[in-house]
Amino acid sequence: MNAWMRHDSPLGDLLVVASERGICGLYFEQHKYFTGVQGKENPEYPLLRSAAVQLDEYFGRARTRFELPLDLRGTPFQLQVWEGLQQIPFGAVSTYGEQARQAGRSRAVRAVGAAIGRNPVCIIVPCHRVLSATGALAGYAGGLERKRYLLALEQRA
C-alpha cells in the first residue's frame, strides 16, 4: 500500500508517494502526466519524512545527491532511461540524444524523450537536466519555468 504527503517547495506543492520499497512518485501541481494517487495520506511515514528533509536540503543548496530508495514503475525501456538520468551529475546537463546513446538506442531520441517525460519521480530522478540538442529548454512535465528554476538552482550551488 502506498503512503503519500504534500510537501511545500519553492516551486509549489509537491506530492510525494512512497511504497514499502521506496519513493514511487514525486509530482508538481498540474504535473502533465499525473494520474492520481492511491493509498493513504501519511506525512509521518518515515520514508516520506526522509524525502521531505532531503528535498528541503536540495532546495536549500545543502544537498546535491538524494539518498532514498526508489520504487520506479515502468516498462523495461523506461526503467533503463530513468537509470541513465540518475547518472547525470548535479549541476551538469545532458541532451536527449546523449541519453538515447547512453541507453544504446541512438536513433530512438523521441522514444527516450517520451520515457523521460513519463518519469514518475521528478527532481530525485533528474529529468530536468536534459536539454534539446541545441541546449534549449525543451519538455518538462512540471513546466518549463520549473525546469529553468531547477537548473539555475543547481548552477548556483
Q: Do 11 and 38 belong to one domain?
A: yes
- What is the CATH number for 94? 1.10.10.10
- Residue 63: predicted pLDDT: 97
- Residue 143: predicted pLDDT: 84
d(CA 106, CA 55): 33
Catalytic residue numbers, as ranges: 127
Structural domain total, the chain:
2
Domain carrying residue 28: 3-59
Cβ neighbours around 71 below 10 Å, total: 17
Q: Do 149 and 102 belong to one domain?
A: yes
- Residue 142: predicted pLDDT: 81
- Residue 29: predicted pLDDT: 81
pLDDT per residue rounded down to tens, the chain (157 residues): 799 999 999 999 999 999 999 999 999 887 666 667 778 999 999 999 999 999 999 999 999 999 999 999 999 999 999 999 999 999 999 999 999 998 888 898 999 999 999 999 999 999 999 998 888 888 888 889 999 999 999 998 6
| DSSP state letters, 17-56 | EE-SSSEEEEEETT-TT-----SEE-TT-HHHHHHHHHHH
Overall pTM surpassing 0.85 (yes/no): yes
Q: Do 39 and 105 belong to one domain?
A: no
Q: Do 46 and 82 belong to one domain?
A: no
Cβ neighbours around 115 below 10 Å, total: 25
| DSSP state letters, 121-154 | BTTTS-GGGEE-TTS-----TT-HHHHHHHHHHH
Residues comprising the chain, all counted: 157
Q: Do 52 and 105 belong to one domain?
A: no
Q: Do 105 and 36 belong to one domain?
A: no
Of 59, 88, 104, the domain-final residue? 59
d(CA 57, CA 54): 5
- Residue 139: predicted pLDDT: 80
β pairing state of 94-95 and 40-41? unpaired
- Residue 133: predicted pLDDT: 84
Residue among 39, 44, 35 at smallest CA distance from 1: 39
Query: In this structure, what C-alpha cell is assigned to residue 9?
Result: 517547495
Q: Do 82 and 119 belong to one domain?
A: yes
71 found inside a domain: no
Cβ neighbours around 77 below 10 Å, total: 15
